[in-house]
Copies of this chain bind each other. A is one copy, B any other.
Amino acid sequence: MTNRLIYLPLGGAGEIGMNAYVYGYGPAGKERLILVDMGVTFPDMDTTPGVDLILPDMAWLEDNLDRLDAIFITHAHEDHIGALGHLWPRLQKPVYARRFTATIGRLKFEEQGLPVEAINIVAPRPETVEVGPFKVQFVPVSHSIPESAALLIDTPAGRIVHSGDFKLDHNPVVGEAWDDARFTEIAAERPVKALMCDSTNVFSLHAGRSESSIREPIRELIAGHGGMVVATTFASNVARLKTLAEAARAADRSVCLMGRAMKRMVTAAEQSGVLTGFPRTVSPEDAADIPRGNLMLIVTGSQGERRAASAQLSRGKYLGMELKQGDLFLFSSKTIPGNEREVLRIVNNLSERGVDVMDDGGGKYHVSGHANRPDLEHVHRLLLPDMLIPMHGEHRHLREHARIGAEAGIATAIVTNGMMVDLTGEAPVTVEHVETGRLYLDGTSIVGALDGVIRDRIRMALNGHVMVTVILDDDNETLGDAWVEIMGLSEKGRSGPLAETMEGELNDFIDGAGRKILRDDDKLDEALRRIVRQVAMEEIGKKPEVTVVVSRLMAE
């Protein structure tokens, strides 16, 4: 039986978030497997109200658990590592990551009471992890978090480069610079059969800029301001934190970190050795005693998260600090599409307090962590892969990236979640469609996206909820009247109180209903539900969700 090399994204291909990619090698259907990344996506009120996190549904992998040899994590961003603590118990396979990533992973394991020793620290190439038919090396790339890595995956069928998230930064402030030589060497050593490549910034037409390019502008901005300065960025962007903190020190300002994620990241970065020389910080309690002109807060919540420090500070006093006329608030960050409303809410709150707000200023105070189109093309040329499979992108990104690859004469395919492609030949061939989907972490339970739980919440939010209680005895006679409770609907209808109007109609119906309906729970439920919806439509122009409880009291 011939062996084949397969690629199967379970998340991250056709969306930005929730990365989870499977590679396999062996006889068809019996390939040995590895998993790259276990990320999350963040919920929103429109589609996932009340949900805490969105995880990839890896049921296929769970069904083929005996074939899975290892899990590799490319870097410590939540969309790559966030599901580790929640879904590892279902897989229970060794995890491999670089030191900083492993440090973050182990914190997650500790929180969940999982065995931290399952997470192995791997040094960069040439160190090699051999699992089944795979030889895997971590290749340092620059990104917006320390120790991001591409994976070099050698198989008997050829060499794969899984780019992870990367940018071409030759002076990244913290961590390793991008190094062309590393990749020309990789391609020279053994031809690259397939490049799975980050597509996030494929629509950005100019070459990307270095993290260090914003150091001076930030320094000038902060030095030029009299009041207190507050800056927000992603907590995991340790280089940015350092740039901000150093700019503060250069302007004779003490630095105070606010927000749990912020402190956690700096600690992890220092402990794992990737961050050195970070200025000493003061606690919020001590910060309160420092003159405003000598203080800078670096805070969480750049995406407008309601409970993070930015939002709290915009609304009033937070940990003893309060923003005032003459203070400056810097978003050293980009607003992720979908978060605009929340971010603007903060900006307007700050405006009401008389605070000056600076956003990324057309790139003056923020640079992206992903490779732009010319950078992607540069990497295609460095590696000269036989095939290019775009990943880490919505469909529009994957399609555009594939188009660019095809124009350059590379075999490409748009491979989205659940598509299993065979890479053994000269071009990718789709061989199977696998069920994928999303799981919702909801409180402490995990529910399937299609379980109907969240659908019901959305329906209640859109339509309101009416509960009907009816009590019948064993002769199918009503005991008392039908009772209606409404939630999330106007109490007043056209002709009076809504609940009373509904009760009147329900009681009229029950009084006139035959035994055939009254003794059949399903028919009665259906009839009462229809009456409630009809009355609601007439009275308030809405069709609510309805729950009917028919209690049958039996003679004892």
Contact = CB atoms under 8 A, between A and B. Distances in A.
14 contacts: A348-B396, A351-B399, A442-B490, A442-B541, A443-B541, A443-B542, A444-B541, A445-B490, A453-B488, A457-B462, A457-B464, A460-B465, A467-B549, A487-B545
Interface stretch (A19-27, A144-152, A248-256, A339-347): A339-347
B540 A444 contact: yes
A128 interface: no
A447 B399 CA distance: 46
A interface majority secondary structure: mixed
B396 A45 contact: no
Contact of A445 (B463, B471, B541): B541
A273 B189 CA distance: 74
B341 A542 contact: no
A44 B494 CA distance: 26
A460 B487 contact: yes
A362 to B, nearest CB: 10
Contact of A461 (B50, B347, B485): B50
Contacts of A551: 469, 471, 480, 483, 551
Interface of A: 14, 44-46, 49-50, 337-338, 340-342, 344, 347-348, 351-352, 357, 394-396, 399, 442-445, 447, 451, 453-454, 456-458, 460-465, 467, 469, 471, 479-480, 483, 485, 487-494, 539-542, 545, 547, 549, 551, 553
A455 to B, nearest CB: 8
A533 to B, nearest CB: 12
Contacts of A45: 44-46, 49, 461
B465 A487 contact: yes
B453 A490 contact: yes
B395 A445 contact: no
